[in-house]
Structure 1
Amino acid sequence: MSQSTLEEPLGARQPVKTQSNWTRRIWPTLEGYLYLAPTLLGLLIFVFIPIITSFRLSLNRIAPFGNQMRFVGLDNYVDLLTSADYWDSVRVTLIFVLGTVPTGIALAVALAILLSYPLGRMAWFYRALIFVPVIISSAVTGVLFRWLYHPVVGYLNYWLVQLGLAESMQQAPNWLGSKEWALLAVIIATTWRQLGFNVIVALAGVQNIDETFYDAAKVDGAGIWQRIRHITLPLLSPTLFFLLIINIIYSFQAFGE
Protein backbone atom coordinates (compact mmCIF):
# COMPACT_ATOMS: atom_id res chain seq x y z
CA MET A 1 0.00 0.00 0.00
CA SER A 2 1.55 3.25 -1.04
CA GLN A 3 0.84 6.74 0.26
CA SER A 4 1.36 9.76 -1.92
CA THR A 5 1.90 13.23 -0.56
CA LEU A 6 1.62 16.55 -2.32
CA GLU A 7 4.53 18.78 -1.61
CA GLU A 8 3.93 22.52 -1.63
CA PRO A 9 6.16 24.47 -3.90
CA LEU A 10 9.00 26.32 -2.22
CA GLY A 11 7.91 29.72 -0.86
CA ALA A 12 4.17 28.98 -1.07
CA ARG A 13 3.63 28.86 2.72
CA GLN A 14 3.59 32.34 4.30
CA PRO A 15 4.92 32.82 7.84
CA VAL A 16 2.23 33.60 10.43
CA LYS A 17 2.70 37.02 12.02
CA THR A 18 2.25 37.00 15.78
CA GLN A 19 2.21 39.92 18.20
CA SER A 20 5.11 40.15 20.55
CA ASN A 21 4.55 39.73 24.28
CA TRP A 22 5.37 43.41 24.79
CA THR A 23 2.65 44.51 22.35
CA ARG A 24 0.05 42.23 23.92
CA ARG A 25 0.81 43.60 27.38
CA ILE A 26 1.04 47.28 26.50
CA TRP A 27 -1.71 47.71 23.90
CA PRO A 28 -4.78 47.37 26.23
CA THR A 29 -3.39 50.09 28.50
CA LEU A 30 -2.34 52.28 25.58
CA GLU A 31 -5.75 51.84 23.94
CA GLY A 32 -7.50 53.11 27.07
CA TYR A 33 -5.33 56.22 27.17
CA LEU A 34 -6.07 56.89 23.50
CA TYR A 35 -9.80 56.92 24.26
CA LEU A 36 -9.21 59.21 27.24
CA ALA A 37 -6.90 61.55 25.33
CA PRO A 38 -9.57 64.15 24.31
CA THR A 39 -10.89 64.41 27.88
CA LEU A 40 -7.40 64.56 29.37
CA LEU A 41 -6.45 67.26 26.87
CA GLY A 42 -9.50 69.31 27.86
CA LEU A 43 -8.65 68.94 31.57
CA LEU A 44 -5.07 69.96 30.87
CA ILE A 45 -6.08 73.10 28.96
CA PHE A 46 -9.05 74.27 31.01
CA VAL A 47 -8.22 72.98 34.53
CA PHE A 48 -4.60 72.14 35.26
CA ILE A 49 -2.90 74.91 33.27
CA PRO A 50 -5.17 77.62 34.82
CA ILE A 51 -4.48 76.19 38.31
CA ILE A 52 -0.72 76.30 37.75
CA THR A 53 -0.95 79.80 36.25
CA SER A 54 -3.06 81.06 39.16
CA PHE A 55 -0.63 79.62 41.70
CA ARG A 56 2.30 81.24 39.90
CA LEU A 57 0.53 84.60 39.89
CA SER A 58 -0.34 84.24 43.59
CA LEU A 59 3.37 84.23 44.38
CA ASN A 60 3.69 87.74 42.95
CA ARG A 61 2.36 91.15 43.88
CA ILE A 62 0.95 93.08 40.93
CA ALA A 63 0.55 96.85 40.91
CA PRO A 64 -3.06 98.10 40.59
CA PHE A 65 -2.15 100.08 37.48
CA GLY A 66 0.25 98.79 34.88
CA ASN A 67 1.88 95.41 34.46
CA GLN A 68 4.51 95.72 37.17
CA MET A 69 4.82 92.37 38.96
CA ARG A 70 7.11 91.64 41.91
CA PHE A 71 7.84 88.19 43.31
CA VAL A 72 6.91 87.97 47.02
CA GLY A 73 6.84 84.21 47.61
CA LEU A 74 4.27 83.09 50.19
CA ASP A 75 3.64 86.57 51.60
CA ASN A 76 0.19 86.75 50.00
CA TYR A 77 -0.84 83.50 51.70
CA VAL A 78 0.51 84.71 55.04
CA ASP A 79 -1.50 87.92 54.71
CA LEU A 80 -4.60 85.90 53.84
CA LEU A 81 -4.34 83.43 56.72
CA THR A 82 -3.68 86.18 59.25
CA SER A 83 -6.58 88.35 58.08
CA ALA A 84 -9.63 88.54 60.34
CA ASP A 85 -11.86 89.25 57.33
CA TYR A 86 -10.78 85.97 55.71
CA TRP A 87 -11.68 83.85 58.72
CA ASP A 88 -14.97 85.71 59.09
CA SER A 89 -15.73 84.84 55.46
CA VAL A 90 -14.88 81.19 56.15
CA ARG A 91 -17.25 81.19 59.14
CA VAL A 92 -20.10 82.74 57.15
CA THR A 93 -19.51 80.32 54.27
CA LEU A 94 -19.62 77.28 56.56
CA ILE A 95 -22.84 78.51 58.18
CA PHE A 96 -24.30 79.07 54.72
CA VAL A 97 -23.35 75.55 53.58
CA LEU A 98 -24.67 73.93 56.77
CA GLY A 99 -27.89 75.91 56.40
CA THR A 100 -28.60 75.15 52.75
CA VAL A 101 -27.33 71.61 52.13
CA PRO A 102 -29.05 69.53 54.88
CA THR A 103 -32.26 71.56 54.67
CA GLY A 104 -32.45 71.36 50.89
CA ILE A 105 -31.80 67.60 50.77
CA ALA A 106 -34.28 66.84 53.58
CA LEU A 107 -37.04 68.86 51.89
CA ALA A 108 -36.23 67.27 48.53
CA VAL A 109 -36.48 63.72 49.89
CA ALA A 110 -39.77 64.49 51.65
CA LEU A 111 -41.29 66.00 48.51
CA ALA A 112 -39.93 63.18 46.33
CA ILE A 113 -41.57 60.56 48.55
CA LEU A 114 -44.82 62.54 48.45
CA LEU A 115 -44.70 62.88 44.65
CA SER A 116 -43.98 59.17 44.21
CA TYR A 117 -47.51 58.36 45.36
CA PRO A 118 -50.39 58.55 42.84
CA LEU A 119 -51.57 62.16 42.68
CA GLY A 120 -54.10 61.84 39.87
CA ARG A 121 -54.05 63.76 36.62
CA MET A 122 -52.33 66.79 38.15
CA ALA A 123 -49.13 64.90 39.09
CA TRP A 124 -47.23 66.39 36.12
CA PHE A 125 -48.29 69.90 37.18
CA TYR A 126 -47.00 69.47 40.74
CA ARG A 127 -43.66 68.19 39.49
CA ALA A 128 -43.32 71.03 37.00
CA LEU A 129 -44.27 73.57 39.67
CA ILE A 130 -41.50 72.34 41.98
CA PHE A 131 -38.95 72.43 39.14
CA VAL A 132 -39.77 76.04 38.17
CA PRO A 133 -37.16 77.67 40.49
CA VAL A 134 -34.35 75.92 38.60
CA ILE A 135 -35.17 77.61 35.29
CA ILE A 136 -35.64 81.07 36.83
CA SER A 137 -32.59 83.31 36.52
CA SER A 138 -30.73 84.67 39.54
CA ALA A 139 -31.89 88.21 38.72
CA VAL A 140 -35.56 87.21 38.76
CA THR A 141 -35.03 85.28 42.00
CA GLY A 142 -33.42 88.36 43.56
CA VAL A 143 -36.33 90.61 42.58
CA LEU A 144 -38.87 88.07 43.83
CA PHE A 145 -37.29 87.63 47.25
CA ARG A 146 -36.60 91.32 47.58
CA TRP A 147 -40.35 91.84 47.38
CA LEU A 148 -41.05 88.95 49.76
CA TYR A 149 -38.53 90.27 52.29
CA HIS A 150 -39.70 93.90 52.14
CA PRO A 151 -40.00 95.15 55.75
CA VAL A 152 -43.23 97.11 55.14
CA VAL A 153 -45.19 95.38 52.37
CA GLY A 154 -43.36 92.04 52.28
CA TYR A 155 -45.55 88.97 52.06
CA LEU A 156 -43.32 86.99 54.44
CA ASN A 157 -43.64 89.51 57.27
CA TYR A 158 -47.37 89.74 56.60
CA TRP A 159 -47.80 86.05 57.34
CA LEU A 160 -45.54 86.26 60.38
CA VAL A 161 -47.93 88.86 61.78
CA GLN A 162 -50.98 86.79 60.84
CA LEU A 163 -49.55 83.71 62.57
CA GLY A 164 -48.73 85.68 65.70
CA LEU A 165 -44.95 85.32 65.30
CA ALA A 166 -44.59 89.11 65.10
CA GLU A 167 -46.76 91.78 66.73
CA SER A 168 -46.72 94.16 63.75
CA MET A 169 -45.01 94.79 60.43
CA GLN A 170 -42.77 97.36 62.11
CA GLN A 171 -41.55 94.78 64.63
CA ALA A 172 -41.15 91.99 62.08
CA PRO A 173 -37.61 91.04 60.97
CA ASN A 174 -35.81 93.36 58.58
CA TRP A 175 -34.57 90.51 56.44
CA LEU A 176 -32.20 92.37 54.14
CA GLY A 177 -31.34 95.36 56.32
CA SER A 178 -30.11 93.71 59.51
CA LYS A 179 -27.00 91.69 60.17
CA GLU A 180 -28.91 89.14 62.23
CA TRP A 181 -31.38 88.18 59.48
CA ALA A 182 -29.52 88.75 56.19
CA LEU A 183 -27.70 85.41 56.14
CA LEU A 184 -30.89 83.49 56.96
CA ALA A 185 -32.66 85.33 54.13
CA VAL A 186 -29.98 84.24 51.65
CA ILE A 187 -30.11 80.65 52.96
CA ILE A 188 -33.89 80.51 52.41
CA ALA A 189 -33.64 81.92 48.88
CA THR A 190 -30.81 79.58 47.89
CA THR A 191 -32.58 76.53 49.32
CA TRP A 192 -35.72 77.41 47.38
CA ARG A 193 -33.81 77.90 44.13
CA GLN A 194 -31.98 74.58 44.40
CA LEU A 195 -35.02 72.64 45.61
CA GLY A 196 -36.35 71.76 42.14
CA PHE A 197 -33.16 70.03 41.02
CA ASN A 198 -32.89 68.13 44.30
CA VAL A 199 -36.49 66.92 44.09
CA ILE A 200 -36.13 65.66 40.51
CA VAL A 201 -32.98 63.69 41.36
CA ALA A 202 -34.45 62.31 44.59
CA LEU A 203 -37.70 61.40 42.82
CA ALA A 204 -35.76 59.44 40.19
CA GLY A 205 -34.01 57.55 42.98
CA VAL A 206 -37.27 56.78 44.79
CA GLN A 207 -38.95 55.52 41.62
CA ASN A 208 -36.03 53.17 40.90
CA ILE A 209 -36.64 51.26 44.14
CA ASP A 210 -38.25 47.88 43.43
CA GLU A 211 -41.88 47.75 44.57
CA THR A 212 -41.43 44.18 45.80
CA PHE A 213 -39.55 45.50 48.83
CA TYR A 214 -42.57 47.58 49.83
CA ASP A 215 -45.00 44.73 49.14
CA ALA A 216 -43.02 42.37 51.36
CA ALA A 217 -42.87 45.00 54.12
CA LYS A 218 -46.65 45.52 53.91
CA VAL A 219 -47.20 41.77 54.28
CA ASP A 220 -45.03 41.83 57.41
CA GLY A 221 -47.16 44.65 58.81
CA ALA A 222 -44.68 47.52 58.40
CA GLY A 223 -46.21 51.00 58.47
CA ILE A 224 -45.38 53.88 56.16
CA TRP A 225 -42.73 55.35 58.46
CA GLN A 226 -41.08 51.97 58.92
CA ARG A 227 -41.00 51.46 55.14
CA ILE A 228 -39.44 54.88 54.63
CA ARG A 229 -36.87 54.35 57.37
CA HIS A 230 -35.84 50.76 56.57
CA ILE A 231 -36.37 50.63 52.78
CA THR A 232 -36.53 54.04 51.11
CA LEU A 233 -33.72 55.85 52.90
CA PRO A 234 -31.15 52.98 52.83
CA LEU A 235 -31.75 52.26 49.13
CA LEU A 236 -31.68 55.98 48.41
CA SER A 237 -28.19 56.43 49.91
CA PRO A 238 -26.31 56.61 46.53
CA THR A 239 -28.68 59.34 45.38
CA LEU A 240 -28.33 61.19 48.68
CA PHE A 241 -24.53 61.05 48.40
CA PHE A 242 -24.72 62.50 44.88
CA LEU A 243 -27.01 65.30 46.08
CA LEU A 244 -24.70 66.00 49.02
CA ILE A 245 -21.66 66.51 46.76
CA ILE A 246 -23.55 68.60 44.18
CA ASN A 247 -25.16 70.83 46.82
CA ILE A 248 -21.87 71.44 48.64
CA ILE A 249 -20.22 72.48 45.37
CA TYR A 250 -23.18 74.71 44.49
CA SER A 251 -23.17 76.36 47.93
CA PHE A 252 -19.46 77.16 47.76
CA GLN A 253 -19.98 78.71 44.30
CA ALA A 254 -22.97 80.87 45.26
CA PHE A 255 -21.01 84.14 45.50
CA GLY A 256 -22.87 85.64 42.52
CA GLU A 257 -26.22 85.22 44.24
Structure 2
Amino acid sequence: MSRVVKAAAVVAGGLALAHAAPALTSIQPLEPLRTRLFPGYAGQGDPGHIALTFDDGPDPLSTPRFLKLLERRGVTATFFLLGFMLERDPGLGREIAAAGHEVAVHGYLHRPMLLRTPRQTRDDLSRAHALVSEATGETPRWYRPPYGIATTSALRTARGLGMDPVLWTSWGADWRAGATGSSVYDTVTRNLKGGGTILLHDSDCTSAPASWTATLSALPRLLDHCEEQGWKLGPLAAHGL
Protein backbone atom coordinates (compact mmCIF):
# COMPACT_ATOMS: atom_id res chain seq x y z
CA MET A 1 0.00 0.00 0.00
CA SER A 2 1.48 3.36 -1.00
CA ARG A 3 2.03 6.16 1.48
CA VAL A 4 -0.70 8.21 -0.20
CA VAL A 5 -3.22 5.41 0.16
CA LYS A 6 -2.20 4.84 3.78
CA ALA A 7 -2.51 8.54 4.54
CA ALA A 8 -5.91 8.68 2.88
CA ALA A 9 -7.05 5.68 4.92
CA VAL A 10 -5.88 7.35 8.14
CA VAL A 11 -7.68 10.57 7.26
CA ALA A 12 -10.86 8.68 6.34
CA GLY A 13 -10.69 6.72 9.57
CA GLY A 14 -10.21 9.90 11.55
CA LEU A 15 -13.17 11.56 9.89
CA ALA A 16 -15.35 8.52 10.53
CA LEU A 17 -14.31 8.49 14.18
CA ALA A 18 -15.05 12.20 14.56
CA HIS A 19 -18.45 11.70 12.94
CA ALA A 20 -19.37 8.79 15.19
CA ALA A 21 -17.71 9.81 18.48
CA PRO A 22 -20.86 11.34 20.08
CA ALA A 23 -22.65 8.02 19.57
CA LEU A 24 -20.50 6.48 22.31
CA THR A 25 -22.57 8.35 24.91
CA SER A 26 -25.61 6.29 23.92
CA ILE A 27 -24.11 2.96 25.08
CA GLN A 28 -26.31 1.86 27.97
CA PRO A 29 -23.54 0.85 30.44
CA LEU A 30 -22.03 4.31 29.96
CA GLU A 31 -25.23 6.18 30.86
CA PRO A 32 -24.18 6.89 34.49
CA LEU A 33 -20.86 8.24 33.20
CA ARG A 34 -22.70 10.34 30.62
CA THR A 35 -24.82 11.87 33.37
CA ARG A 36 -21.75 12.74 35.44
CA LEU A 37 -19.68 14.17 32.60
CA PHE A 38 -22.42 15.77 30.50
CA PRO A 39 -25.33 16.42 32.89
CA GLY A 40 -27.12 18.89 30.61
CA TYR A 41 -26.93 16.59 27.60
CA ALA A 42 -28.11 13.68 29.76
CA GLY A 43 -31.08 15.69 31.00
CA GLN A 44 -29.95 16.11 34.60
CA GLY A 45 -31.58 19.26 35.93
CA ASP A 46 -33.11 20.81 39.04
CA PRO A 47 -32.95 18.23 41.88
CA GLY A 48 -36.51 19.08 42.88
CA HIS A 49 -37.88 18.57 39.37
CA ILE A 50 -38.49 15.66 36.99
CA ALA A 51 -38.72 16.31 33.26
CA LEU A 52 -41.38 14.16 31.60
CA THR A 53 -40.75 13.54 27.89
CA PHE A 54 -42.45 11.53 25.16
CA ASP A 55 -40.98 10.45 21.80
CA ASP A 56 -42.30 9.38 18.40
CA GLY A 57 -45.63 11.23 18.14
CA PRO A 58 -47.93 12.76 17.30
CA ASP A 59 -50.10 9.69 16.78
CA PRO A 60 -53.86 10.21 16.32
CA LEU A 61 -54.63 6.85 17.93
CA SER A 62 -52.59 7.19 21.10
CA THR A 63 -51.39 10.75 21.69
CA PRO A 64 -54.86 12.19 22.52
CA ARG A 65 -55.17 9.62 25.32
CA PHE A 66 -51.94 10.85 26.87
CA LEU A 67 -53.07 14.44 26.52
CA LYS A 68 -56.33 13.70 28.33
CA LEU A 69 -54.58 11.90 31.19
CA LEU A 70 -52.02 14.67 31.61
CA GLU A 71 -54.77 17.28 31.54
CA ARG A 72 -56.66 15.48 34.30
CA ARG A 73 -53.51 15.40 36.42
CA GLY A 74 -52.52 19.00 35.69
CA VAL A 75 -49.13 17.97 34.30
CA THR A 76 -47.34 19.26 31.21
CA ALA A 77 -44.50 17.52 29.39
CA THR A 78 -42.14 17.78 26.43
CA PHE A 79 -43.15 15.94 23.25
CA PHE A 80 -40.34 15.08 20.82
CA LEU A 81 -42.17 14.98 17.50
CA LEU A 82 -41.26 13.07 14.36
CA GLY A 83 -41.66 15.15 11.22
CA PHE A 84 -43.29 12.45 9.13
CA MET A 85 -45.87 11.81 11.85
CA LEU A 86 -46.57 15.52 12.28
CA GLU A 87 -46.97 15.89 8.52
CA ARG A 88 -49.83 13.37 8.65
CA ASP A 89 -51.66 15.21 11.42
CA PRO A 90 -50.43 18.79 11.95
CA GLY A 91 -53.62 19.58 13.84
CA LEU A 92 -52.61 17.18 16.58
CA GLY A 93 -49.29 18.97 16.87
CA ARG A 94 -51.16 22.23 17.38
CA GLU A 95 -53.32 20.52 19.99
CA ILE A 96 -50.24 19.42 21.94
CA ALA A 97 -48.87 22.96 22.02
CA ALA A 98 -52.27 24.50 22.77
CA ALA A 99 -52.58 22.24 25.83
CA GLY A 100 -49.46 23.89 27.26
CA HIS A 101 -46.99 21.14 26.44
CA GLU A 102 -43.56 21.82 25.03
CA VAL A 103 -42.84 20.63 21.49
CA ALA A 104 -39.39 19.46 20.43
CA VAL A 105 -37.68 17.75 17.48
CA HIS A 106 -36.97 14.03 17.16
CA GLY A 107 -36.06 14.30 13.48
CA TYR A 108 -38.10 13.84 10.32
CA LEU A 109 -37.48 10.10 9.99
CA HIS A 110 -36.64 7.74 12.83
CA ARG A 111 -33.42 6.37 11.38
CA PRO A 112 -29.97 6.02 12.98
CA MET A 113 -27.85 9.14 12.47
CA LEU A 114 -24.74 7.00 12.02
CA LEU A 115 -26.11 5.83 8.67
CA ARG A 116 -26.60 9.36 7.32
CA THR A 117 -24.23 11.71 5.59
CA PRO A 118 -23.80 15.24 6.95
CA ARG A 119 -26.01 16.56 4.16
CA GLN A 120 -28.75 14.00 4.87
CA THR A 121 -28.52 14.94 8.54
CA ARG A 122 -28.92 18.64 7.82
CA ASP A 123 -31.86 18.00 5.50
CA ASP A 124 -33.63 15.78 8.02
CA LEU A 125 -33.28 18.09 11.01
CA SER A 126 -34.03 21.25 9.06
CA ARG A 127 -37.17 19.71 7.61
CA ALA A 128 -38.37 18.52 11.01
CA HIS A 129 -37.58 21.85 12.67
CA ALA A 130 -39.55 23.74 10.01
CA LEU A 131 -42.53 21.38 10.30
CA VAL A 132 -42.70 21.63 14.09
CA SER A 133 -42.40 25.42 13.99
CA GLU A 134 -45.05 25.82 11.29
CA ALA A 135 -47.55 23.31 12.66
CA THR A 136 -47.41 24.34 16.31
CA GLY A 137 -46.48 28.00 16.13
CA GLU A 138 -43.67 27.27 18.59
CA THR A 139 -39.93 27.37 17.92
CA PRO A 140 -38.49 24.10 19.25
CA ARG A 141 -35.64 24.44 21.71
CA TRP A 142 -34.73 20.77 22.14
CA TYR A 143 -33.51 17.96 19.89
CA ARG A 144 -33.28 14.27 20.69
CA PRO A 145 -31.70 11.97 18.08
CA PRO A 146 -33.44 8.70 17.20
CA TYR A 147 -32.30 5.88 19.49
CA GLY A 148 -30.37 8.52 21.46
CA ILE A 149 -27.48 8.09 19.01
CA ALA A 150 -26.03 11.41 17.90
CA THR A 151 -23.25 12.26 15.48
CA THR A 152 -21.07 15.32 15.18
CA SER A 153 -23.15 16.44 12.19
CA ALA A 154 -26.38 16.03 14.12
CA LEU A 155 -25.13 18.03 17.10
CA ARG A 156 -23.77 20.81 14.92
CA THR A 157 -26.95 20.99 12.86
CA ALA A 158 -29.17 21.04 15.93
CA ARG A 159 -27.21 23.86 17.50
CA GLY A 160 -27.18 25.73 14.20
CA LEU A 161 -30.98 25.60 14.26
CA GLY A 162 -31.01 26.96 17.80
CA MET A 163 -31.75 23.62 19.49
CA ASP A 164 -30.06 22.03 22.49
CA PRO A 165 -29.53 18.25 22.24
CA VAL A 166 -30.83 16.34 25.26
CA LEU A 167 -31.21 12.65 26.08
CA TRP A 168 -32.56 11.15 29.33
CA THR A 169 -31.55 9.70 32.67
CA SER A 170 -34.32 7.10 33.01
CA TRP A 171 -36.43 5.20 30.49
CA GLY A 172 -39.29 2.74 30.61
CA ALA A 173 -38.23 0.26 27.89
CA ASP A 174 -41.83 0.73 26.80
CA TRP A 175 -41.12 0.05 23.14
CA ARG A 176 -40.62 -3.66 23.67
CA ALA A 177 -43.10 -6.41 22.91
CA GLY A 178 -44.42 -7.74 26.18
CA ALA A 179 -44.01 -4.47 28.07
CA THR A 180 -46.65 -3.96 30.76
CA GLY A 181 -47.67 -1.09 32.97
CA SER A 182 -45.78 -2.70 35.84
CA SER A 183 -42.63 -3.33 33.82
CA VAL A 184 -42.57 0.25 32.55
CA TYR A 185 -43.11 1.64 36.05
CA ASP A 186 -40.43 -0.61 37.59
CA THR A 187 -37.90 0.21 34.87
CA VAL A 188 -38.39 3.97 35.14
CA THR A 189 -38.26 4.11 38.92
CA ARG A 190 -35.34 1.72 39.32
CA ASN A 191 -32.80 4.54 38.97
CA LEU A 192 -34.97 7.67 38.91
CA LYS A 193 -33.64 10.48 41.09
CA GLY A 194 -34.51 14.11 41.55
CA GLY A 195 -33.41 16.16 38.55
CA GLY A 196 -33.89 13.24 36.18
CA THR A 197 -35.46 13.17 32.72
CA ILE A 198 -37.90 10.35 31.92
CA LEU A 199 -38.10 8.94 28.38
CA LEU A 200 -41.43 7.39 27.37
CA HIS A 201 -43.26 6.93 24.06
CA ASP A 202 -46.74 8.14 23.15
CA SER A 203 -46.73 6.22 19.86
CA ASP A 204 -45.86 2.75 18.62
CA CYS A 205 -44.81 3.91 15.14
CA THR A 206 -41.26 2.62 15.78
CA SER A 207 -42.11 0.21 18.61
CA ALA A 208 -43.95 -3.05 19.19
CA PRO A 209 -47.62 -2.78 18.15
CA ALA A 210 -49.81 -1.27 20.89
CA SER A 211 -46.82 -0.88 23.20
CA TRP A 212 -48.10 2.59 24.09
CA THR A 213 -50.90 0.94 26.10
CA ALA A 214 -48.31 -0.21 28.66
CA THR A 215 -46.95 3.33 28.88
CA LEU A 216 -50.39 4.79 29.38
CA SER A 217 -51.12 2.21 32.06
CA ALA A 218 -47.90 3.05 33.93
CA LEU A 219 -48.24 6.80 33.73
CA PRO A 220 -50.63 7.41 36.68
CA ARG A 221 -48.40 5.39 39.01
CA LEU A 222 -45.33 7.26 37.78
CA LEU A 223 -47.00 10.61 38.42
CA ASP A 224 -48.03 9.43 41.89
CA HIS A 225 -44.49 8.24 42.63
CA CYS A 226 -42.97 11.60 41.70
CA GLU A 227 -45.50 13.46 43.80
CA GLU A 228 -44.80 11.18 46.77
CA GLN A 229 -41.09 11.94 46.44
CA GLY A 230 -41.83 15.66 46.49
CA TRP A 231 -40.64 16.18 42.91
CA LYS A 232 -42.36 18.65 40.64
CA LEU A 233 -43.16 17.29 37.18
CA GLY A 234 -43.00 19.27 34.01
CA PRO A 235 -41.34 19.92 30.65
CA LEU A 236 -37.67 20.42 29.96
CA ALA A 237 -38.24 24.18 29.84
CA ALA A 238 -38.82 24.09 33.61
CA HIS A 239 -35.95 21.70 34.32
CA GLY A 240 -33.19 24.24 34.87
CA LEU A 241 -30.94 23.10 32.03
Place the TM-score, normalised by the shorter chain, in its bin. under 0.3
- The structure with the greater share of residues assigned to helix is 1
The normalised TM-score by structure 2 is 0.23
The normalised TM-score by structure 1 is 0.22
Structure of larger gyration radius: 1
Relative contact order higher in (CA < 8 Å, ≥ 6 apart): 2
